[in-house]
Amino acid sequence: MFNLKFKTVKEFALIFRLKDISDFKPSPEQMQERMNWLAGIASQNKLADKGNTLLPFAANARTIQSNNVITDGAYTEIKEFISGYIVVKADTIDEAVEMAKANPIFDQVGGSIEVREVLQRD
């Protein structure tokens, strides 16, 4: 009830999207760079949840539509598909954006990162 008042640090989900399924499997070097980025955030004690990587392949993903139509694979209506997410701690959304901008995927394969503030429930 009273914890909300003292909570100044906000949490933001960073949702990763890739353009192509073939970008999903990073090379060892790319993986190392991504890990460095993630560990860098954790090193600042700003990682709230290390999140998950979500498998996008036909065997690992289903999309259920409202008309009960089920399709195999990740949701790709918007072309890009979600490859994973993490949750970070930041004072402002701008700070979270700065963290996201430093992510190596932009140099590696492109894609996008959506930054979304997490609703704090009391």
CB of 121 to other proteins, least distance (A): 24
CB of 53 to other proteins, least distance (A): 13
Strand segments (E) across the chain:
10-18, 47-53, 62-64, 70-72, 81-90, 112-117
Q: Please, which residues have CB within 8 angstroms of residue 86's CB and are 6 or more apart in sequence?
A: 13, 14, 38, 41, 47, 49, 50, 51
22 token code pair: 């073939």
User: Coil, strand or helix: which one is 89?
Assistant: strand
Print the binding letters for residues 26-55 with other proteins: x by CB under 8 A, - otherwise: ------x--xx-xxx-xxxx-x--x-----
Q: Applying CB under 8 A, does 101 fall inside the site for other proteins?
A: no
CB of 117 to other proteins, least distance (A): 22
Contacts with other proteins by CB under 8 A lie at 32, 35-36, 38-40, 42-45, 47, 50
